[in-house]
Amino acid sequence: MSVPRKFGIRILLLILSIFILSSTAAAQNTIYFNSKDITSEIETVSREGELLIKARDLAELLDADLTWRPALKSLEMKSQNVTIKIMANSRYIQIGNDALKTRAGLQLVDNQAYIPLAKSIEAFGYLLEYQRDNEELYIFQPETTINNVSWQEDGNQLQIKMDEITPYRILHSEDGREITIEIDKAVIDQEFSDNISNNNYYLRVVNVPDRALLRLIIKSRTPIPFQIDGGVYEYEDSLVLSFLPQLKDIRIDKNNILKVEATGEIPDAKTKYISESKKMIIDIPSVVIGNFDLDIENHPLIKDIKVTQHDLDPVILRIEATMVNGDIFKPLKREKNSLLAFKPGQRSEITNLDYAAGSFSFDSSSALNPELFLLETPPRLVMNLYHVNRGAGILDKIEVNNSLIKNLRTARFDEQTVRIVADLKELTGYDWVEEEKNGIYHYTVNLKNKFAEIRTEDNDKYQYLDILMDSRAEYEVKKFNYPHRIVVDFKNTLNNLDEFKTIEKTSLIKDIRSSNYQLEGEEVTRLVFELNDYYSHRVETYQDKHGIKIALAKDYLNKQMKEDREIESHLIVVDAGHGGFDPGAIGMTGLEEKVSNLAIAREIASQLADKDQTVLLTRNSDRFHSLQQRVKFANARNADLFVSIHANSFNNPQTGGVETYYNQHENNQNRFLAEKIHDKLGRGLGIYDRGIKESNFYVIKYTKMPSALIEVAFVSNPGEEKMLQSSKFQKKAASLITEGILDYLEENGGK
Amino acid sequence: MGENNMAVKKIKLSPEQKRKMLLVLRVLLLTAAVLYLLFLFYNNYFLDDKIKVYFSTENANYLKSEKRTINQESDLYFQIFDELKSGPESSGLTATIPAGSQLLDYQIEDKMIILNFNQAFRDNHWGGSTGELLTIYSIVNSYTSLEEIQTVRILIEGKEVESLVGHLDLTQPLMYNQKLTEGS
């Protein structure tokens, strides 16, 4: 093949392709019917700017019956329930009683009837979408029918009921006053009436020319509170649009309660007070302004109320009330979730700001909910008080300079907040307490105490344990014997003992330990001085209870003197548990609890009597007494101490050990007694120590004197059942309990 | 003859068949995993029909709860006692209800449930302070775990009692006991 011929073919191809391209471009409108390109299957012409289709082609497409009456030059097409009529020389398509105006009407071309495509297809209920850019015409059968559009939930919800949810879009106008819901391939039910606007919204349904969709347009005077996120959901076959509740009413009732009501739930509002302009600002989230009633005029308390839609993202409604004389309205407890109520009251004042070692306090005319936090550099504790004013006599700054606090400063932080700042020497823990008396609320902030110094000191007569704290100490000093110990429990105290050098031990002190210990659910720092023998001790405080000085008397080095330590005579009631027809727990080999209880109780009675104590037994024989009788017995005799002896039981024979119960009383004496007794039993009885426990047992709950209930051992445990039967074990238990009682009496003196 | 032949014929798997077998196994495994996950999901997220029942730890120091699914059709309050009576599922726990115990009836007043037990509940009890505490509070804690119940009163055969076996004060309504409850 020669080069010129090749070239010629190329030219030919080029010309051909240009021809083909231009011919496609020249072809009008690609037409799709239910997504299928039918352009080549139908014949169309354009007349007067309207696209006409050959009537026969349309009839075939829609599977319609076509009747042509040549005499009348009229055409009738019937498909399913719809019949259209069109006559030559008329521009109207008749559908039932309605008529649709077209531009071209019926046209005869080559003796064939051509009718307007768009209008006739719409008349048959089809949807048409014309994409002008690429001249494509889409004919769809509608995929869904909107059956109903209605307002629900007091006008806060728009429900669009349809056969099936087709793709939809929700469009927001810039100013938020118009929302358009576009639903694809949807038609509206014939029966539907457009009259669905409500008090706040104007709604209409719009068919969009050349678009296969339906638009629902909602308009409002004020921005429409529709949330783009989460404002729409699909419920069964409905599309539900939720609107935020709208403000309905602001009024002040005859009791001066300011009420704000909305068409739906109002979240909690934020209130602010601006004292200078005597304004209260109520910011209500997620509520929109709407058409509301405002009925406050010439009110003695409120001069003026202004309502604005403060923000739309997020939605905030702002109510600005200008007060006549600066009263403050405080939110009342919510009764209805669509209603906010405010009651006038004075902003509370704080007064009497005072300080002490490690604490500061003030009074308030109403209950506060303070916020406290620590800041590091410089170390300070910040306390925010809301909706308060500083009362007379509250200074900007007080110089304190005690062991923990340098200064106390107060300032108005912002319109709502007064701030108290304690400049600290160093950061430490804190807590605060509220006490109410005659309507005045007293607040105390306690900084956590710390050890400042621990010393031991020696002289001829005494050895001293000297504990100095940063601030006033809350403590309990307890002495335990065998092994001999002085225990000091400090409340609200940091255990900073690591910071100290080893404390010098004097001759009487064997060891010094510290631990954190749970006392009635509160953590205490426990300091234990282990002593090498029994010594009597005395506790003194100094420096306004910052310091505790415990003196140990060497005089008692003499063992004989120790034995002779004098304890005044007390009346002690010893209660042997159960009895008579109530055997108590029963062991596997048949030991009845009531038996060992009585043996041990009798032994305690005899040992205590040896120490000049007066002892009464609630029962001295195998007799039944009710719990109430036992309590009455001790209370009626005004006893100094009550001790109940029991043996324990559980449905697992392996469980064993000794435990001591007390009932919590505010003077702590029950616990002290239990601690003393159990210290002996836990260490000395030789069985598992199950500890001290708090419980609401009848006899220790209703007796009026210090009391404890001892579960010596488990009768349900075969090993311990055997022990309980032996008089040796009974005596040992009794003597340990006796020692504990005497220890308690020596230190606390009974009732 | 033909049948005989069939029986002795060795089954040889072609690679294609092996692949199919493996696929089936994989599908089975996946199904099992999905079922297991569903089971876990069910157990963790559908706590609405679950109740807590308390049992004693083996060392008799604490109460610990187990979850039980309730049968919506029968009475919730009887079911709780039935679950308490049938005892724990895990091995570290011990039942607290004596044999023969029956909850005869109950009554709810405000947020208090009054439980009326039979005499066997007391007669068959093993006694002891520890025993009584754990029995009573396993009941009290189980019932007060329900939102609608705040306190529990215990009656024996319709009568008020001082205590069950001579220690705990039952003349007053009892509240949930936090101290006895382990791990909460």
Q: What is the interface pTM, i.e. ipTM, of the complex?
A: 0.76
d(CA B176, CA A742): 36
Residues B141 and B120 in one domain: yes
State whether residue A662 sits within 8 Å of chain B by CB.
no
Chain A environment of B128 (Cβ under 8 Å): 584-585, 593, 646-650, 711, 714-716
Which of A396, A416, A447 represents a domain boundary (last residue)? A447
- Closest by Cβ to A711, choosing from B95, B96, B128: B128
Classify residue A487: in a domain, yes or no. yes
Residues A151 and A225 in one domain: yes
**What is the CB-side half-sphere exposure of residue B23 using CA atoms within 13 A?**
6
Range with the poorest average pLDDT among A8-17, A60-69, B76-85, B116-125: A8-17
Q: Which residue has the higher pLDDT, A719 or A303?
A: A719
Residues B36 and B90 in one domain: no
d(CA A169, CA A234): 13
pLDDT tens digits, one per residue of A642-665:
999 999 999 999 999 999 999 988
Identify the three-state secondary structure at position A253: coil
Q: What is the 3-state secondary structure (H, E, C) of A637-687?
A: CCCCEEEEEEEECCCCCCCCCEEEEECCCCCCHHHHHHHHHHHHHHHHCCC
pLDDT tens digits, one per residue of B167-178:
999 999 999 998
pLDDT band of A146, cuts 50, 70, 90:
confident
Classify residue B3: in a domain, yes or no. no
Classify residue A586: in a domain, yes or no. yes
Residues A383 and A429 in one domain: yes
* Interface A-B: count of C-beta contacts within 8 A: 98
Residue B124, domain extent: 47-175
| Residues of A known to be catalytic | 711
Averaged pLDDT, A297-313: 82
Classify residue B86: in a domain, yes or no. yes
Interface mutation vs chain A, best among B119, B125, B130, most A CBs within 10 Å: B130
What is the distance in angstroms between the Cα of B86 and the nearest Cα belonging to chain A? 15
Residues B68 and B147 in one domain: yes
What is the distance in angstroms between the Cα of B171 and the nearest Cα belonging to chain A? 9
Residues B150 and B76 in one domain: yes
Classify residue A24: in a domain, yes or no. no
Whole-number pLDDT of residue A22: 41
B128–A628: do the CB atoms touch at under 8 Å?
no
Residue A2 has pLDDT above 50, yes or no: no
* Domain count within chain A: 6
Interface mutation vs chain A, best among B164, B169, B177, most A CBs within 10 Å: B169
Classify residue B79: in a domain, yes or no. yes
Whole-number pLDDT of residue A711: 97
Which of A397, A418, A447 represents a domain boundary (last residue)? A447
Residue of A nearest to B97 (CA): A651
Residues A153 and A227 in one domain: yes
The CATH number of whichever domain residue A334 belongs to comes to: 2.60.40.3500
State whether residue A664 sits within 8 Å of chain B by CB.
no
Residue A722's nearest CA partner among A653, A644, A619 is: A653
- B153: tokens are 């009163």
B128–A697: do the CB atoms touch at under 8 Å?
no
Residues A227 and A293 in one domain: no
Identify the three-state secondary structure at position A697: strand
- Closest by Cβ to A593, choosing from B98, B127, B172: B127
% pLDDT > 70, chain A: 89
Residues A591 and A634 in one domain: yes
Which of A328, A345, A362 represents a domain boundary (last residue)? A345
Averaged pLDDT, A130-149: 81
Whole-number pLDDT of residue A575: 97
pLDDT band of A545, cuts 50, 70, 90:
confident
Residues B93 and B34 in one domain: no
Whole-number pLDDT of residue A573: 97
Name beta bridge partners: A188.
Answer: A146
A649–B166: do the CB atoms touch at under 8 Å?
no
d(CA B74, CA B57): 29
> Which stretch of DSSP H or E encloses residue A230?
none
Can you tell me which residue has the tokens 């493996």?
Answer: B22
CB count in 10 Å sphere of residue A608: 23
Q: Which residue has the higher pLDDT, A655 or A562?
A: A655
Residues B29 and B52 in one domain: no
Name beta bridge partners: B63.
Answer: B56, B181
B131–A577: do the CB atoms touch at under 8 Å?
no
Residues A456 and A428 in one domain: no
Name beta bridge partners: A241.
Answer: A158, A232
Whole-number pLDDT of residue B3: 42
Residue A142 has pLDDT above 90, yes or no: no
- A359: tokens are 């604490």
B126–A650: do the CB atoms touch at under 8 Å?
yes
Residue A318 has pLDDT above 60, yes or no: yes
pLDDT band of A226, cuts 50, 70, 90:
low
Q: How far is C-alpha A124 from the geometric centre of its chain's CA atoms?
A: 59
Averaged pLDDT, A419-425: 91
A698–B126: do the CB atoms touch at under 8 Å?
no
Averaged pLDDT, A255-261: 86
Classify residue A8: in a domain, yes or no. no
Residues B150 and B81 in one domain: yes
Chain A environment of B56 (Cβ under 8 Å): 650
Chain A environment of B172 (Cβ under 8 Å): 696
- A583: tokens are 């055997």
Residues A684 and A629 in one domain: yes
Residues B58 and B144 in one domain: yes
Residue A608, domain extent: 571-748
- Closest by Cβ to A697, choosing from B56, B59, B168: B168
Alpha helices in A243-315 (DSSP H): none
Task: Report the predicted TM-score, pTM, of the whole model to 2 decimal places.
Answer: 0.50
Query: Which stretches does DSSP call E strand in chain B?
Result: 50-57, 63-69, 93-94, 103-109, 112-117, 151-156, 159-160, 174-175
Classify residue A9: in a domain, yes or no. no
Classify residue B182: in a domain, yes or no. no
pLDDT band of A228, cuts 50, 70, 90:
low
Residue B99 is given by DSSP the state T
A649–B127: do the CB atoms touch at under 8 Å?
yes
Residue A273 has pLDDT above 70, yes or no: no
For strands A50-54 and A112-116, give the pairing. Answer: antiparallel
Q: What is the mean pLDDT of chain B?
A: 86
The two most distant CA atoms of chain B are separated, in Å, by 89
CB count in 10 Å sphere of residue B152: 23
Can you tell me which residue has the tokens 């007379």?
Answer: A392
Highest mean pLDDT (candidates A11-20, A33-42, A498-507, B145-154): B145-154
Residue A387 has pLDDT above 80, yes or no: no
Residue A357's nearest CA partner among A478, A437, A468 is: A468
Cα dihedral B67, B72, B76, B79, rounded to 10, equals: -60
Residues A317 and A394 in one domain: no
Residues B130 and B154 in one domain: yes
* Domain count within chain B: 2
Interface of A with B in 583-612 (CB under 8 A): 584-586, 593
Classify residue A5: in a domain, yes or no. no
Interface of A with B in 675-694 (CB under 8 A): 690, 694
Handedness of CA B2, B6, B12, B18 (dihedral sign): positive
Residues A214 and A280 in one domain: no
What is the distance in angstroms between the Cα of B173 and the nearest Cα belonging to chain A? 11
Residues B159 and B96 in one domain: yes
Residues B84 and B168 in one domain: yes
CB A700 within 8 A of CB A627: no
Averaged pLDDT, B39-45: 64
B169–A582: do the CB atoms touch at under 8 Å?
no
A648–B130: do the CB atoms touch at under 8 Å?
yes
Averaged pLDDT, A17-39: 63
What is the distance in angstroms between the Cα of B169 and the nearest Cα belonging to chain A? 4
Residue of B nearest to A521 (CA): B179
Chain B environment of A651 (Cβ under 8 Å): 94-96, 98, 126, 131
For strands A571-576 and A641-648, give the pairing. Answer: parallel
pLDDT tens digits, one per residue of A321-372:
888 766 667 777 788 888 888 887 666 788 899 988 778 999 987 777 788 8
What angle (nearest 5°) sits at the alpha carbon of residue A139, between those of residues A138 and A144? 115
* DSSP per-residue string spanning A370-424: -EEEEETTTTEEEEEEESEEE-TT--SEEE--SSSEEEEEEEE-SSSEEEEEEEE
Taking CB atoms within 8 Å and a gap of at least 24, the contacts of B170-177 are B170/B136, B171/A698, B172/A696, B173/B112, B174/A696, B174/B136, B174/B137, B174/B140, B175/B140, B175/B144, B175/B150, B175/B151, B176/B140, B176/B141, B176/B144, B176/B145, B177/B63, B177/B137, B177/B140, B177/B141
% pLDDT > 90, chain B: 59
Classify residue A12: in a domain, yes or no. no
Residues A661 and A542 in one domain: no
- Closest by Cβ to B167, choosing from A586, A628, A697: A697
What is the distance in angstroms between the Cα of B29 and the nearest Cα belonging to chain A? 36
Classify residue B8: in a domain, yes or no. no
Residues B105 and B160 in one domain: yes
Interface of B with A in 154-173 (CB under 8 A): 162-163, 165-169, 171-172
Q: How far is C-alpha A18 from the geometric centre of its chain's CA atoms?
A: 74
Averaged pLDDT, A166-175: 81
CB A394 within 8 A of CB A439: no
d(CA B181, CA B178): 5
Contacts of A199 (CB under 8 A, 6+ apart): A155, A290, A291
Averaged pLDDT, A16-39: 63
Residues A403 and A545 in one domain: no
What angle (nearest 5°) sits at the alpha carbon of residue A174, between those of residues A168 and A177? 80
Residues A396 and A414 in one domain: yes
% pLDDT > 90, chain A: 25
pLDDT tens digits, one per residue of B62-121:
999 999 988 888 889 999 999 999 999 998 899 999 999 999 999 998 889 999 999 999
Q: What order of strands is seen across the sheet that includes strand B50-57?
A: B63-69, B50-57, B93-94
Chain A environment of B171 (Cβ under 8 Å): 698
pLDDT tens digits, one per residue of A666-708:
888 999 999 999 999 998 999 999 999 999 999 999 999 999 9
Whole-number pLDDT of residue A173: 78
Classify residue B4: in a domain, yes or no. no
What is the distance in angstroms between the Cα of B41 and the nearest Cα belonging to chain A? 26
Classify residue B111: in a domain, yes or no. yes
Residue A3 has pLDDT above 70, yes or no: no
Classify residue A10: in a domain, yes or no. no
Classify residue B53: in a domain, yes or no. yes
